[in-house]
Every structure is written in structure tokens, then in C-alpha cells.
């Protein structure tokens, strides 16, 4: 399979701090590549290195089979990116912003091209409005519109759902799926929230403290057998006792905080729910958790699993 | 002090008068020659030579009408003239009959033998305190005049005659005067400061100014409108 | 590159902030001209008081040329502040807005990016000076007419014939452009360090104000360091109004008293421009964009 990004032994040090540590990964053509890590894990630094905003301390980056340092312009012509916040020129209109960045990307700008792009991100009706008046979601969509205007092969979205409302998050998710499935783009999308990534990513990289934890196919990583459920009841110690005496006892996990944790197959979650009702446990909350912290818990409590994806 | 000075001058003049020949007649002859000109318009070049003034040579027009109307106009541009001085010409110097004149000796000006005549105005309101005239007796021309005034300091006028000698109108007039030191308040000019250090000789030279006018033509006694002196 | 420059200019002239400078100049020049229309003669009498004691001036002393000189004398000390407003914002403003990272992920080299940015601020500077020239020179010529220009220098008075003035203004504005470009270059340099606009704008203004004070104060201690301050050379546009004189102390039309001083100053300023912009390039090319 053709690789679009090939990163080898990438390291970045800032005055005594190693932000990215000997990181290697490959993104193949057509991937929606989820880039997961907690805040400060080194995601943004890595993405900035991919975009030449930050110079690596050591290591090598190849995009489209070309060395990034040597073929910078050629490569960046085929890349569209939104890095962190989708900041654009607030004193210019949406139309002016798209047109300006399209020109910078080296393409011929026509009115139709700009309007089509704004149409695609649902901003056509606000084309002439100054960006200052836009909501966060609209700015995000505009940022993506700008990233896509020159029809790049590789799209890099750094935390694209930050600060968005649920509708905004869903819009971005749908857009990513459309770009991938309908237009065959390669997409790198970073997030600190697993729930966002799992719905779109075909492949996944998890980093922590600048180092790779896991890289693999999403469907394998999101093993339904490894779902963590967090339960809060009116009397947690009583509920725990009852669970320890039930058939669910083998699924209990070491507690973190007050709540009860169980690891089970996703298909068994309804049965657990029913079981609690039958035991007369008064449930306050019942959450199959998908955040990164739990995922880390999941993969680190199963060392075999980690090794399976880090070879 | 001033009073004492006047007394000395008066005594001195009284004494010289007793020893020297009365020159009123000569001065009157010179005056008669000057009086042939009723009015004139002259054209020429003027050059202001004051060490602290950088001015270009400019074309000037000079208008004169008896008894004492005098106007110098720069032909397009601004004229910078020492106060009072240049407007005094020979006619105004020996205006009317209110003066005492006597010779104090002979001298040579520009190779011409001249009579040195002291002239005292006898009217109270005259600005001129004392004039020394260097008169070419043969041609009845004043070649040089040194004047002390009450208001405008002392100055010296030197004249060269040529084409218009018959009317006692000079081709060239050099007017010398003393100037105050030029001082620009610091900081006003906002310039890179490079004030040169001056020697005493230069400092004295800085205080001497000259205005030189070279006349190229005169239009004499053709009548002149009062308006030009406004 | 041309396209990039176009974009940079587009951005500059789309910002309301840019027009503050043009408005400020218009207001300032307008107010001074109004003042001089009303009380110009009093002003001239006051300024020339010293010489007017011994000399009489016949002609239009307060004409458009003199008014322009007065205006430039007052304005050119303050224009750097307006230049700083834009130049010191060129890079830091983009960093502050967050658009810098977007710009630099486009297929343009950082050298091109910086060149376009500096050229754009240079064009802004140029246009500001053209505006000043229009208001201070042409409008003054219209309002006050023209005549010989009589100005006071530190050590002497200069009279320039009316026909010998305009080219001097052309030279003076050209020189002023160099001065202002060195300010722009300084602002540009400082803006490459910061991620907000206020810092470099204030820093540029402070440097200019501080250096200008040191450059113009006649205190021996300061005079020793003046040759090392670029602000010292910035005021030398005035040299264009100092003609040479001949042996008779008459002004030689079309001459300059110290052309070498103009040339030296211009070279010093050009070196500063190249130095500041060059340093910006070197530093910025290696800079990690973290904004």
C-alpha cells in the first residue's frame, strides 16, 4: 500500500523538554488516521513538524515519498491543514479568506471555486460577512473550507472539534467521512477524545509523553470485548458487595475513585444493566466510557494487547 | 556717559571747524548734481553677504523718488536687508540744508584722490548722527560714505560710477554694516549638532555684513507712481 | 512573490488600523495649516525674531515651501510611531491572530514570506510619505503659494531661490523614505520575536523615542554616542536644504553644502535596513512556530 506519510525516529526537544521522542509511524493512502493522546502528549508538535512549522531535532519525515525538508513547497501544495484553532483573518470576509489562502496555495482562484467551497462547508450564505461575527463552529467550518480549497490529497486536522457544540462535532465527523469515502482523501485527525476518533478513524496512533503507545487498525484496537463501564450508585460499597457475589464478579476492575468499574464485551452491556436492576441496585449513572484515560487503562491492563499493536 | 560723549564730539567738531575749511559749498555742489535726478528705476543684481546668511544673488529693482522715497524689490523672491541701512542713499544723506560740513583732509579711494568731509546734521530728529563723505571733487561724486545712526548702528557705503556718472548714480554700491551675532535657540532646529569652533578673527568677521548691488540700467526722470513704494 | 506581495498589501489596506496613520497625518497637517493660515505671520515673527531685529524681510516668508518645512520638522519625528504601528505588527500580529501557522503551511518559503511582508510594509511607508508630501507640500503650496524659502539652521540662515526648492523636497522625501524604512525594518525585526503586537510596537516606539532624544540633545556625553545611533542620521533630510556658497558667500543654485553627509547617512540607514531585515530572516527561518 502506498504510504502518504512516513515518519521515522522523529524527536523534538525544547530546552530540556523532549516533546516528541523517537516517534515512527506510517499513514497510508486513503487512511483516516486517528492521532490520539492527552493534552501535552506531543500531538500538536508532531503535526507542526509534518507541516514544517517546527523543525525536528532529529528524525526523518517523508510525505508522498519525498523528503519534507527538500521538497517543502511541492509537498505542501498537496496538503491542507487546520492546526489547533481555525484562526483566519477576522477583519476579512469568509469569501476573502478562502480566496486569499487559495491564492497562497498556488491555484487559480475563480468565484465559482470559492463559492463551491463555502457551499461545501455551509457558509455560502455568509460569504460576504466579516469573520469577526462568526460563531466558533462557523470558524471551524471556514478553517476546514480553507484547508480544502486547493483540493489537497492529504488533510491534517488538529483537534478539529475543540470548542464545538454537539451539532458542530457531528458536522465535522460527517465531513471527515465524506472526504474519505466520497473523495478518497487521506486524513490525519488528532484528538484527545477517543469517542471522536473511534467513529471515523480507520487507523490509530496513540502517543503519551511524546512516545508511541499503540499504532494499529481501529477495529482491532476498539475491541468490543474491552468495553469499560463505570457505575455510580446511591451506595457504592453495597453495590460492590452485591456484584462480588454475582456472576459479574470476574469482570470487576480495580476502582479508581468512588465509582465501580467493569470490563466486558459491548454486547453484554444491556445484560449488566438488567442484572443491576434485578439486584435492586439504585443506579445514579451507568456509562460505557470511551475516553482516553479508560482506553489507556484498557491497553495497559492488557500488556499482550499493547504488544500486538506496537510490534 | 552718552551726554559726555556728545560733549566731546561737539567740542571736537567745534575745534576741527575752526581749523578746517568749510565744505558746505562743495557738498551743495554735489547735492545740486544729485538733485538733477527726480526719480529713477534701476535694475541690477543684489548679493547679501553676511556670514550667517546663505542667500542667492538675486535680481532687484530699485525705485527712488524725491525727496526721500526709496524702495528695493527683489524680482520674484524675498529680499533680506539690514534694517534701515540700504534705504539711505546719498540724496537722503544730505537732504535739505540742515547740516554742517567741513573737510578733515584728503584721502585716496580706489585710486582716486578724494576730499574727506565730515557732515553733521543740524536737525534734532535726524537719525544720522555723523557722516564722513569721501568726495571726488573733480567729478562731484561721493565715492564712499561712513555713517553713524541713532537707531541702526554704523555702516559704510562704497560706490563705483560708470555709465550714469553724469547723474551721480553708481553702477555698484557696496553697503557694509555690523550685525549682531546669530544664535538659534538649541533644539529648535533638531539637527545633528556640529557647531564649528570659531576663532576670534572669524568671530569679528562674522559680525561684518555686506550688501552689494550691481546696477545694470537706470530709467531716470520718467515719473514714478507712488504706489510702488507701498 | 508578486502574488504574495499583493496579498500582503491587501491585508494591510483592509485593516482599519492602517488608516489611523493616514487620518492622524491628515488631522495633524490640517490643524497646523489652519493655525498657520490664521496666525502664520505671528509664528514667523516669533521664530525669526532674532534675525528680524537686524534685518528686514521683504516678500512672502510664510509660503508653501516654508510651511512644508515646518510640517516636516514637526511630523517626521512622529511618523516613525505610525510606521511602527504597522511594521511591528507584520509578523507578531499574524502570530497573535493565529494566522501565522496557516500562512506558513502554504507552499511559500519563509524567505518569500518575509520579503513580501517587508516589501508590503515598505510600500505602506512609501504611501504614508506620499500622503504627507501631498498634504504638507502640495496642499501648502496651494494654500500659501510659493516664494523663496528662508529657513533657519543651527548656525545660519538659508535663503533658497523659489526655483531651487522643489528638487530638494524630492530629495528630502526620498531620504525620509530611507529613514522611515529603517524604522520599519526595526519594527519588523522586533515583531519576529513576539506573539502579540503590542510588545514590538511599544518596543519600536520606545527605541525610536529614546534614540531620538539622545540624538538631538547637545550634551557631550550623548554627543559621543550619537554617531552610533541610526536616529542621528534620520534627521539629515534637512541637509537637502543647505546649499553650497561661492567665494562671495552667494548660494550656488542646485548645490548641496554637504552631499557627503547625505550619502553617508543614506548608506548608514541602508545598512540598518539590510541588517534588521537580514537578522529577521536568519532568526525567523529557524524559528519554531508555536503560536
Domains, chain B: 26-220 (2.50.20)
For residue C250, pLDDT beyond 50? yes
* Dist CA C111 CA C109 (whole Å): 5
Task: Give mean pLDDT, residues A94-122.
Answer: 91
Residue of C108, C286, C290 lying closest to A104 (CB–CB): C108
Cβ of C47 within 8 Å of Cβ of B188? The answer is yes
Q: Please give the residue of chain C at the shortest CA–CA distance from A71.
A: C107
**Residue A214 banded pLDDT, cuts 50, 70, 90:** confident
Instruction: Note whether residue C149 is domain-resident.
Output: yes
pLDDT score recorded for residue B183: 61
The H or E element that residue B61 is part of is strand B58-65
pLDDT score recorded for residue C17: 83
- Interface check for C274 against chain A (CB to CB < 8 A): the answer is no
Q: Do residues A136 and A144 lie in contact, with contact meaning Cβ atoms separated by under 8 Å?
A: no
Instruction: Note whether residue C74 is domain-resident.
Output: yes
pLDDT score recorded for residue A293: 56
pLDDT score recorded for residue B211: 85
Cβ of C289 within 8 Å of Cβ of A53? The answer is yes
pLDDT score recorded for residue A307: 39
Q: Do residues A180 and A157 lie in contact, with contact meaning Cβ atoms separated by under 8 Å?
A: no
Chain B, residues 32-51, CB within 8 A of chain C, namely 47, 49-51
Nine-digit cell string for B223: 515719473
Nine-digit cell string for C54: 537686524
- Interface check for A88 against chain C (CB to CB < 8 A): the answer is yes
C270 three-class SS? helix
* Dist CA A271 CA A268 (whole Å): 5
The H or E element that residue C140 is part of is helix C140-144
For residue A213, pLDDT beyond 90? no
> Which of the residues in chain B have pLDDT under 50?
1, 4-19, 186-190, 192-193
For residue A296, pLDDT beyond 80? no
* Dist CA B5 CA B13 (whole Å): 12
Chain B, residues 108-137, CB within 8 A of chain C, namely none
C75 three-class SS? helix
pLDDT digits (tens, 9 = 90+) for C128-141: 999 999 999 999 99
Q: Please give the residue of chain B at the shortest CA–CA distance from C235.
A: B191
Residue C250 is classified by DSSP as: B
Q: Which residues of C touch A51 (CB under 8 A)?
A: 101, 104-105
pLDDT score recorded for residue A308: 37
For residue C49, pLDDT beyond 80? no
For residue C26, pLDDT beyond 60? yes
The residues that bridge with A102 in the sheet, in sequence order, are none
Question: Exposure string (b/e) for A18-30, b if CB count within 10 Å is 16 or more?
Answer: ebbbebebbbeeb
Task: Give mean pLDDT, residues C162-188.
Answer: 93
What are chain A's domains? Answer: 3-221 (3.40.50.300), 224-310 (3.30.70)
Domain count for chain C = 1
pLDDT score recorded for residue B193: 46
**Residue A79 banded pLDDT, cuts 50, 70, 90:** very high
In chain C, % of residues over pLDDT 90: 48
Q: Do residues A75 and A51 lie in contact, with contact meaning Cβ atoms separated by under 8 Å?
A: no
pLDDT score recorded for residue A289: 67
pLDDT digits (tens, 9 = 90+) for A36-71: 887 888 888 999 999 999 999 999 999 999 999 899
Q: Do residues B99 and B130 lie in contact, with contact meaning Cβ atoms separated by under 8 Å?
A: no
Dmax (CA) of chain A = 71
Q: Please give the residue of chain A at the shortest CA–CA distance from C1.
A: A104
- Interface check for C103 against chain A (CB to CB < 8 A): the answer is yes
- Interface check for B85 against chain C (CB to CB < 8 A): the answer is no
Q: What contacts B168, CB < 8 A, 6 or more positions away? A: B30, B33, B34, B36, B37, B90, B140, B141, B142, B161
- Interface check for B172 against chain C (CB to CB < 8 A): the answer is no
Task: Give mean pLDDT, residues A206-216.
Answer: 85
Q: Do residues B179 and B82 lie in contact, with contact meaning Cβ atoms separated by under 8 Å?
A: yes
**Residue C122 banded pLDDT, cuts 50, 70, 90:** very high
pLDDT digits (tens, 9 = 90+) for C215-242: 888 788 888 888 888 888 888 898 999 9
Q: Do residues C150 and C158 lie in contact, with contact meaning Cβ atoms separated by under 8 Å?
A: yes
For residue A248, pLDDT beyond 50? yes
Tell me which of C15, C102, C112, C287 to substitute to probe the interface with A (most A C-beta atoms closer than 10 Å).
C102
What count of other Cβ atoms lies within 10 Å of the Cβ of residue B205? 11
513704494: which residue's cell?
B229
Tell me which of A40, A79, A91 to substitute to probe the interface with C (most C C-beta atoms closer than 10 Å).
A91
Q: Which residues of C touch A109 (CB under 8 A)?
A: none
- Interface check for A89 against chain C (CB to CB < 8 A): the answer is yes
Q: Do residues C190 and C182 lie in contact, with contact meaning Cβ atoms separated by under 8 Å?
A: no
Kindly report the CA angle at B80 between B79 and B86, in degrees rounded to 5?
95
The residues that bridge with B160 in the sheet, in sequence order, are B172
> How far does the CA of residue A22 sit from the closest CA of chain C (Å)?
19
Instruction: Note whether residue C291 is domain-resident.
Output: no
pLDDT digits (tens, 9 = 90+) for B2-49: 554 444 444 444 444 444 567 788 888 888 888 888 888 989 988 888
Q: Which residues of C touch B77 (CB under 8 A)?
A: 59, 147-148, 161-162
Q: Which residues of B touch C77 (CB under 8 A)?
A: 190
> Rounded to 5 degrees, what are φ and ψ at A227?
-70, 135
**What does the radius of gyration of chain A's CA atoms come to, in whole angstroms?**
22
pLDDT score recorded for residue B6: 47
- Interface check for C285 against chain A (CB to CB < 8 A): the answer is no
> How far does the CA of residue C95 sit from the closest CA of chain B (Å)?
38
pLDDT score recorded for residue A45: 92
> How far does the CA of residue B58 sit from the closest CA of chain C (Å)?
8
For residue A194, pLDDT beyond 60? yes
Task: Give mean pLDDT, residues C166-193.
Answer: 93
Nine-digit cell string for B101: 560740513
Chains that touch A (3 or more CB pairs under 8 A): C
A259 three-class SS? coil
> Rounded to 5 degrees, what are φ and ψ at C280?
-60, -45
Domain of C93 in residue numbering reads as 2-286
The residues that bridge with A3 in the sheet, in sequence order, are A28
- Interface check for A81 against chain C (CB to CB < 8 A): the answer is yes
Nine-digit cell string for C283: 532568526
Q: Please give the residue of chain C at the shortest CA–CA distance from A52.
A: C105
Question: Whole-model pTM?
Answer: 0.81
Q: Which residues of A touch C15 (CB under 8 A)?
A: 91
Least confident of A99-108, B112-121, C47-56, C106-115: C47-56
Interface predicted TM-score of the whole assembly (ipTM), two decimals: 0.83
Determine how β-strand A58-63 pairs with β-strand A66-67: antiparallel
> Nearest to residue A161, comparing CAs of A153, A170, A149, A152?
A170
For residue A306, pLDDT beyond 70? no
Nine-digit cell string for A246: 454475582
Q: Helix crossing, C16-47 with C64-75: angle to 10°?
A: 120
Q: Do residues A291 and A195 lie in contact, with contact meaning Cβ atoms separated by under 8 Å?
A: yes
Tally the residues of chain B.
230
* Dist CA C237 CA B64 (whole Å): 43
- Looking at per-residue pLDDT, the higher value among A197 and C166 belongs to C166
> How far does the CA of residue A36 sit from the closest CA of chain C (Å)?
20
Q: Do residues C157 and B179 lie in contact, with contact meaning Cβ atoms separated by under 8 Å?
A: no
* Dist CA B57 CA C243 (whole Å): 13
* Dist CA A107 CA B224 (whole Å): 80
pLDDT score recorded for residue C199: 92
Say whether the A–C interface has 3 or more Cβ pairs within 8 Å. yes
Q: Identify each DSSP E strand in chain A by its residue range.
A: 3-14, 17-28, 32-36, 58-63, 66-67, 79-82, 154-158, 186-191, 203-208, 211-217, 227-233, 252-253, 260-264, 283-289
Amino acid at each position: 500500500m502506498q504510504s502518504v506519510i512516513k515518519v521515522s525516529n522523529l524527536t523534538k526537544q525544547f530546552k530540556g523538554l523532549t516533546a516528541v521522542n523517537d516517534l515512527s509511524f506510517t499513514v497510508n493512502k486513503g487512511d483516516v488516521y486517528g492521532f490520539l493522546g492527552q493534552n501535552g502528549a506531543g500531538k500538536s508538535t508532531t503535526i507542526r513538524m509534518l507541516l514544517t512549522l517546527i523543525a525536528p531535532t532529529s528524525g526523518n519525515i517523508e510525505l508522498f515519498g519525498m523528503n519534507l525538508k527538500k521538497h517543502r513547497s511541492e509537498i505542501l501544495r498537496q496538503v491542507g491543514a487546520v492546526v489547533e484553532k481555525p484562526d483566519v483573518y477576522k477583519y476579512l470576509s469568509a469569501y476573502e479568506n478562502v480566496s486569499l489562502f487559495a491564492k497562497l496555495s498556488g491555484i487559480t482562484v475563480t468565484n465559482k471555486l470559492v463559492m463551491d467551497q463555502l457551499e461545501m462547508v455551509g457558509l455560502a450564505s455568509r460569504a460576504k460577512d466579516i469573520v469577526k461575527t462568526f460563531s466558533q463552529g462557523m470558524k471551524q467550518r471556514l478553517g476546514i473550507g480553507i484547508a480544502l480549497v486547493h483540493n489537497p490529497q492529504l488533510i491534517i486536522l488538529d483537534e478539529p472539534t475543540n470548542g464545538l457544540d454537539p451539532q458542530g462535532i457531528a458536522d465535522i465527523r460527517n465531513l471527515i467521512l465524506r472526504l474519505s469515502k466520497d473523495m478518497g482523501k487521506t486524513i490525519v485527525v488528532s484528538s484527545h477524545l477517543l469517542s471522536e476518533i473511534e467513529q471515523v478513524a480507520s487507523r490509530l496512533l496513540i502517543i503519551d509523553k511524546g512516545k508511541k503507545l499503540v499504532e494499529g487498525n481501529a477495529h482491532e484496537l476498539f475491541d468490543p470485548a474491552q468495553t469499560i463501564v463505570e457505575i455510580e450508585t446511591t451506595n457504592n460499597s453495597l453495590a460492590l458487595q452485591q456484584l462480588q457475589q454475582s456472576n459479574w464478579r470476574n469482570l470487576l476492575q480495580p476502582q479508581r475513585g468512588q465509582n465501580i468499574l467493569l470490563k466486558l464485551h459491548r454486547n453484554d452491556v444491556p445484560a449488566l444493566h438488567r442484572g443491576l436492576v434485578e439486584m435492586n441496585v439504585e443506579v445514579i449513572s451507568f456509562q460505557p466510557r470511551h475516553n482516553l484515560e479508560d482506553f489507556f487503562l484498557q491497553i495497559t491492563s492488557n500488556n499482550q494487547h499493547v504488544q500486538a499493536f506496537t510490534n | 556717559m552718552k551726554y559726555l560723549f556728545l560733549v566731546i564730539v561737539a567740542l571736537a567738531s567745534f575745534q576741527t571747524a575752526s581749523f578746517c575749511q568749510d565744505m558746505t559749498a562743495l557738498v551743495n555742489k554735489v547735492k545740486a548734481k544729485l538733485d538733477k535726478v527726480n526719480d529713477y528705476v534701476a535694475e541690477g543684481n543684489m548679493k547679501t553677504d553676511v556670514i550667517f546668511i546663505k542667500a542667492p544673488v538675486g535680481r532687484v529693482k530699485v525705485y527712488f523718488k524725491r525727496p526721500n522715497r526709496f524702495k528695493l524689490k527683489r524680482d520674484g523672491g524675498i529680499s533680506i536687508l539690514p534694517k534701515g541701512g540700504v534705504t539711505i542713499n546719498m540724496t537722503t544723506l544730505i537732504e535739505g540744508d540742515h547740516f554742517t560740513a567741513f573737510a578733515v583732509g584728503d584721502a585716496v579711494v580706489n585710486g582716486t584722490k578724494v576730499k574727506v568731509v565730515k557732515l553733521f546734521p543740524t536737525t534734532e530728529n535726524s537719525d544720522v548722527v555723523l557722516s564722513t563723505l569721501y568726495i571726488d571733487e573733480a567729478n562731484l561724486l561721493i565715492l564712499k560714505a561712513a555713517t553713524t545712526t541713532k537707531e541702526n548702528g554704523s555702516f559704510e557705503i562704497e560706490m563705483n560710477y560708470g555709465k550714469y556718472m553724469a547723474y551721480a548714480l553708481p553702477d555698484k554700491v557696496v553697503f557694509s554694516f555690523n550685525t549682531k551675532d546669530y544664535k538659534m535657540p538649541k533644539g529648535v532646529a533638531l539637527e545633528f549638532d556640529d557647531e564649528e569652533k570659531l576663532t576670534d578673527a572669524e568671530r569679528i568677521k562674522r559680525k561684518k555684513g555686506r550688501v552689494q548691488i550691481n546696477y545694470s540700467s537706470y530709467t531716470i526722470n520718467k515719473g514714478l507712481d507712488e504706489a510702488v513704494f507701498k | 512573490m508578486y502574488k504574495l506581495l499583493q496579498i500582503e498589501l491587501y491585508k494591510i489596506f483592509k485593516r482599519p488600523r492602517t488608516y489611523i496613520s493616514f487620518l492622524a497625518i491628515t488631522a495633524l497637517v490640517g490643524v497646523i495649516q489652519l493655525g498657520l493660515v490664521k496666525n502664520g505671520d505671528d509664528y514667523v515673527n516669533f521664530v525669526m525674531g532674532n534675525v528680524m531685529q537686524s534685518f528686514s524681510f521683504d516678500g512672502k516668508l510664510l509660503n508653501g515651501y516654508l510651511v512644508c518645512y515646518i510640517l516636516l520638522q514637526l511630523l517626521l519625528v512622529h511618523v516613525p510611531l505610525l510606521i511602527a504601528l504597522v511594521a511591528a505588527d507584520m509578523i507578531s500580529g499574524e502570530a497573535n491572530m493565529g494566522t501565522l501557522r496557516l500562512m506558513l503551511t502554504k507552499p511559500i518559503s519563509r524567505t518569500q514570506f518575509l520579503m513580501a511582508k517587508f516589501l508590503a510594509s515598505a510600500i505602506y511607508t512609501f504611501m504614508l510619505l506620499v500622503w504627507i508630501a501631498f498634504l504638507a507640500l502640495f496642499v501648502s503650496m496651494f494654500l500659501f503659494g510659493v516664494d523663496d524659502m528662508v529657513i533657519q539652521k543651527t548656525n545660519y540662515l538659508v535663503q533658497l531661490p523659489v526655483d531651487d526648492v522643489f528638487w530638494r523636497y524630492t530629495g528630502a522625501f526620498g531620504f525620509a523614505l530611507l529613514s522611515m524604512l529603517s524604522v520599519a525594518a526595526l519594527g519588523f525585526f522586533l515583531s519576529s520575536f513576539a506573539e502579540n503586537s503590542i510588545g514590538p510596537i511599544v518596543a519600536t516606539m520606545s527605541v525610536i523615542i529614546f534614540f531620538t532624544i539622545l540624538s538631538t540633545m547637545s550634551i557631550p556625553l550623548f554627543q559621543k554616542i550619537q554617531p552610533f545611533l541610526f536616529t542621528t542620521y534620520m534627521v539629515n533630510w534637512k541637509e537637502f536644504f543647505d546649499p553650497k556658497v561661492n567665494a562671495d558667500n552667494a548660494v550656488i543654485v542646485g548645490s548641496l553644502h554637504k552631499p557627503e553627509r547625505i550619502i553617508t547617512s543614506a548608506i548608514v540607514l541602508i545598512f540598518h535596513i539590510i541588517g534588521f531585515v537580514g537578522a529577521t530572516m536568519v532568526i525567523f527561518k529557524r524559528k519554531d512556530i508555536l503560536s
